[in-house]
A and B are shown apart, each in its own frame.
Chain A
């Protein structure tokens, strides 16, 4: 995008859009009784709090608090808990991303609930656009978002933070509509430790050097910061001063899902053959996923009979993964058992597919990518601090996977990859404790929301 094509008064900017309390907001779309009440969503196996409504935050409930400690107080507080319902979150996430993509020159999905969007216009137009984005997502999908608009990613993150923190802004903050003096005043008040791109350790180190606020860091000498800290932090200083150092990935990629679906040359009708198909397709989908540096939370398998042979059938099933992953072994295991649960042996299937959705960035992977990009050791700050619920845990480390992937690829030619089928646990996902899970309103026919007439 050539800046010279734009009118003098037009600016190219980045909008960072994220959903407020994403998981709780998703729960509220189909369960109006949760509105206005303190609600928390729990991690897998109902362990601890991963998402809180504003009312729950006001009660002093913290992310990561174990549920067994909160449970005794729940009746007194009117506190409602929900188990993670990743089928629902994944579906609503893809809808949010779709709506955001329609407003942008380009889009970079950053996690399950946040996305950078390229925007352009005069300061007034940018503010109007940010408000329209907020209105549209609320109207189309039913979840509230905050929008931060600024010249760089780091500033857009900051603008988004300001939009959230100051109620009078009504969820929208555009740097071009703020007076420079006001912006400085805001940055004087915000601690440097909360800034995107500042890790815990380097935050402590900065504070020890007397760089306590975001304004302090903005005034810091970038070259000195690089020498004393890292190239990553130097970039942050430059970004705070409006110099774009984290360019968007060029494509307007729809990374909301990865799909691998094919027709067969001749029909397949035995479970053993379908298992082999799932083996192959899932590993290809997993390879695409890790090539994008992403982890998936939801896996959907499908099969189809011929449309020419009487009654065509298209069985499919979505399963929530126990944790975000790109692990081909784990994904294959789920794909095989999910497909087995919906197909009818003896039926001639002519196509099958695997879809991975509910995608979030694999932070370890991303960190390494950036190191290569900047070819200098970034120290402990190389992995930018994640935000949003999707980035909390990145359990399947890319390093562990790469060896596995290599060996899988080495054996790819024969035996549809040697991942054993015999030892698969039956439906491992359903054995997970999800005692308070709401219905999978948007992905299961027998769990549709009920409307009374």
Chain B
């Protein structure tokens, strides 16, 4: 089958070409850009600090809309980060994953939505409720 030979040749020509993002040219003149083009912009490099600890979630509800996180948006959550005062976090409240702002208060932490509809004062054992720190919102405009 001629098709098979073509793919075979293609895969040989493509050896080492995988990941460069440049389709191999079997014939004709080489592209003048080939020494300069090293793949397009990769959103992963911009958005993901550490792929081992970064997870995607989808948001339900508009309690954090003021922070640019609306219903239906995807958020990136990094489990390896430590929240600072006013970080946006994913926390486990009543057995559910929730998006809250992390307010550091003397001796405690308060988890609240920016619209003030949900406010939870956390006891000593805050590690139990923190799931990760929200680093980005993929907000639809």
Contact = CB atoms under 8 A, between A and B. Distances in A.
B65 to A, nearest CB: 8
B63 to A, nearest CB: 4
Contact of B3 (A30, A276, A307): A276
A135 B110 CA distance: 25
A263 B14 contact: yes
A101 to B, nearest CB: 9
B103 interface: no
Given A142-B79, A449-B57, A273 B14 contact: no
Contacts of A4: none
B6 interface: yes
B2 to A, nearest CB: 10
A453 interface: yes
Given A451-B90, A451-B99, 12 more contacts: A32-B92, A32-B97, A95-B51, A99-B53, A139-B53, A140-B50, A265-B10, A277-B7, A281-B11, A448-B58, A451-B75, A453-B69
Interface string A259-288: 001111110000001001100110000000
B51 A98 contact: yes
Given A30-B97, A451-B75, A452-B99, A263 B24 contact: yes
A307 B19 CA distance: 13
B119 interface: no
Given A141-B52, A280-B8, A453-B62, A415 B18 contact: no
A448 B92 contact: no
B3 A416 contact: yes
Interface in B60-75: 60-65, 69, 71, 74-75
B35 interface: no
Interface in A17-70: 30, 32-33, 35
A396 B40 CA distance: 41
Interface in B4-55: 4, 6-11, 13-15, 17-19, 21-26, 40, 50-53, 55
A351 interface: yes
A353 B21 CA distance: 13
Interface size class for chain B? 35 or more
Interface residues of A, number: 39
B122 interface: no
Nearest to B128: A35
Contact of B10 (A140, A141, A262): A262
B96 to A, nearest CB: 6
A76 interface: no
7 contacts: A95-B52, A99-B52, A99-B53, A265-B10, A449-B57, A451-B57, A452-B63
Most buried by A among B26, B69, B96: B96
Nearest to B63: A453
A99 B6 CA distance: 41
A139 B74 CA distance: 22
B104 interface: no
- Which 5 pairs between the two chains have the least Cβ-Cβ distance? A265-B26, A453-B99, A262-B14, A416-B4, A140-B53
Given A32-B96, A416-B3, A451-B75, A262 B18 contact: yes
A413 B100 CA distance: 59
Main secondary structure of the interface of A (DSSP, over half): mixed
Which among A264, A276, A448 has the highest number of chain B CB atoms within 10 Å? A264
Contact of A306 (B17, B23, B58, B80): B23
B59 interface: yes
Interface string A83-101: 0000000000001001100
Interface string A297-312: 0000000001100000
Interface in A409-435: 413-416
B30 to A, nearest CB: 14
B7, B13, B24, B92: which has the most chain A beta carbons within 10 Å?
Answer: B7
Interface string B87-113: 000101001111110000000000001
Contacts of B141: none
A419 to B, nearest CB: 12
B52 A98 contact: yes
Contacts of B14: 262-265, 351
Contact of B1 (A277, A306, A415): A415
Nearest to A416: B4
Which of A263, A451, A452 gathers most chain B CB within 10 Å?
A451
